[in-house]
Chain A
Amino acid sequence: MTVKALKALSTGRNGLGAFILQCKKMDFHFCDWAGSSRGMNGFIKSQLAKFAAAHPQIEVTVSPRPSRHPIIVGHYVNGQSRSLCVKNMQPLEILKMAESLRDTNGEKLKRINKPVSSINPSVRGVWSPYHGNGMAV
């Protein structure tokens, strides 16, 4: 008999028991000079404090990115990050973009055809012809 390693300790299932927001950090980059960053500067002045206060579980950083378009970068629990260019947008549009980054889980986009995904064992088990009352032919 060989010694076998444990296959898996556990699988994270967010929402069963506790819910953890998958976005852990958001970076807001702006430029003081460029016109495409005008909305972003307004967003940082008027909306960002409220947004950060409403989401204490997200670390928010603001940093300049001179001579470039403004972007928002979201960092996720699974180690991935996703960035979004918000050039020439109004502050409230940028708020929507920040909320969309907050809502995603950072995984790669994939097409899903089946709505339910489950890792639970089957409740009913596998059908067997040798059990039960049998079938009248």
Chain B
Amino acid sequence: MSRALLRSALELRTPAARLPPSFLLPIRARSFNSTAPIIEPTSSASASSHDAASSTIQPPSAETQRANSTLSSRSSTSPQTLYPPSPPPATPPVLSDSVRQLLPLLASQPSHYITVHIHGRPYLVTPGDAIRLPFHMPGVVPGDVLRLDRASVIGSRDFTLKGSPYIDDRVFECRAVVTGSELEPVRITVKKKQRTRRARRVRSQHRFTTLTISELKIKGVEEIAGEGSSA
């Protein structure tokens, strides 16, 4: 009888003691992670290394317009970040003349692609594409929306905006929906030693997070300038 009592007490014990803190639980995680950039936390060191980042738009046959201009480090991140934001830049970054002239042309073309970087790996995607990440992303549940703010290339049929190494994240808005986490078929590796009959079979099976690109928007120059003056 006492064992049964103990067992029921164990079963009915609140999970708070063993679960992660409440903001990581699924329900809260959904709201908490809704717009926070999961990828590539900005630290002060990385921001300083990207101080001399420049971006260039290349029209199809206009080599003369390839004028580099310095963009200072990435602008301050949104208020809901998982990671402590880097200190805001002293002077608001300015767009170069070529970007100013050619960004509306890039935005006016019918379809676009973007090379987003997640944990340093590039993924060339268009809206509607499905990505199976090569890892399991912790702390996300299906339905979460991730803002992808690291990209190296945005392009359309005739124009390309290249960052060196990354594009200023005020230029575009790219969002992805977490659609689930998938398993792979079991991998079985046979471990066999020489001159020995015995063979060991090692089983491994991993879990991967899947995303769908839900939105890709290229902002106008006035919009970017307005953000810069307000920030």
A54 to B184, CA, bound (A): 27
In chain B, positions 123-161 with a C-beta closer than 8 Å to chain A are 123-134, 141-143, 155-157
Residues of B within 8 A of A100 (CB): 181, 183, 207
Tell me, yes or no, whether B59 is within 8 Å of chain A by CB.
Answer: no
**Among A21, A41, A95, A120, which residue has its beta carbon within 8 angstroms of that of B111?**
A120
Q: A92-B15, A103-B181, A115-B134 are in contact. Are A123 and B155 (CB under 8 A)?
A: yes
Residues of B within 8 A of A37 (CB): none
What is the interface size of chain B, counting residues whose CB is below 8 A from a CB of the partner? Answer: 51
Tell me, yes or no, whether B68 is within 8 Å of chain A by CB.
Answer: no
Residues of A within 8 A of B180 (CB): 22, 103-105
Tell me, yes or no, whether B7 is within 8 Å of chain A by CB.
Answer: yes
Tell me, yes or no, whether B185 is within 8 Å of chain A by CB.
Answer: yes
In chain B, positions 78-134 with a C-beta closer than 8 Å to chain A are 111-113, 121, 123-134
A132 to B157, CA, bound (A): 13
Tell me, yes or no, whether A4 is within 8 Å of chain B by CB.
Answer: no
When the two chains form their complex, are residues A16 and B132 in contact, meaning their CB atoms are under 8 A apart?
no
When the two chains form their complex, are residues B61 and A124 in contact, meaning their CB atoms are under 8 A apart?
no
A135 to B161, CA, bound (A): 23
The prevalent SS among residues of B at the interface is mixed
What is the interface size of chain A, counting residues whose CB is below 8 A from a CB of the partner? Answer: 42
Residues of B within 8 A of A14 (CB): 179, 212
Tell me, yes or no, whether A33 is within 8 Å of chain B by CB.
Answer: no
A37 to B136, CA, bound (A): 30
Distance between B59 CB and nearest chain A CB, rounded to angstroms: 12
Distance between B111 CB and nearest chain A CB, rounded to angstroms: 5
A14-57, CB under 8 A of B: which get 1 and which 0?
11110101100000000000000010011101110000001000
Tell me, yes or no, whether A75 is within 8 Å of chain B by CB.
Answer: no
When the two chains form their complex, are residues B142 and A103 in contact, meaning their CB atoms are under 8 A apart?
yes
Tell me, yes or no, whether B27 is within 8 Å of chain A by CB.
Answer: yes
**Among B12, B183, B214, which residue has its beta carbon within 8 angstroms of that of A45?**
B12
When the two chains form their complex, are residues B177 and A19 in contact, meaning their CB atoms are under 8 A apart?
yes
Residues of A within 8 A of B179 (CB): 14-15, 19, 22, 105
When the two chains form their complex, are residues A41 and B212 in contact, meaning their CB atoms are under 8 A apart?
no
B1-34, CB under 8 A of A: which get 1 and which 0?
0000001101111010011000000110000000
Residues of A within 8 A of B40 (CB): none
Residues of B within 8 A of A79 (CB): none
Distance between B221 CB and nearest chain A CB, rounded to angstroms: 22
Residue of A nearest to B15 (CB): A92
Could you list 20 further interchain pairs (A-B, Cβ under 8 angstroms) beyond the known A15-B179, A42-B10?
A: A13-B130, A16-B213, A16-B214, A21-B143, A38-B7, A43-B11, A46-B15, A54-B26, A91-B11, A102-B142, A103-B180, A103-B181, A104-B180, A105-B180, A105-B210, A111-B184, A116-B131, A117-B130, A124-B113, A132-B60
29 example contacts (A-B, Cβ-Cβ < 8 A) are as follows: A14-B179, A15-B177, A15-B211, A16-B127, A16-B128, A19-B143, A19-B212, A41-B11, A42-B7, A42-B12, A43-B11, A46-B13, A92-B18, A92-B19, A103-B142, A103-B182, A105-B182, A105-B210, A109-B182, A109-B184, A110-B185, A112-B132, A115-B132, A115-B133, A116-B123, A116-B124, A120-B126, A123-B111, A124-B155
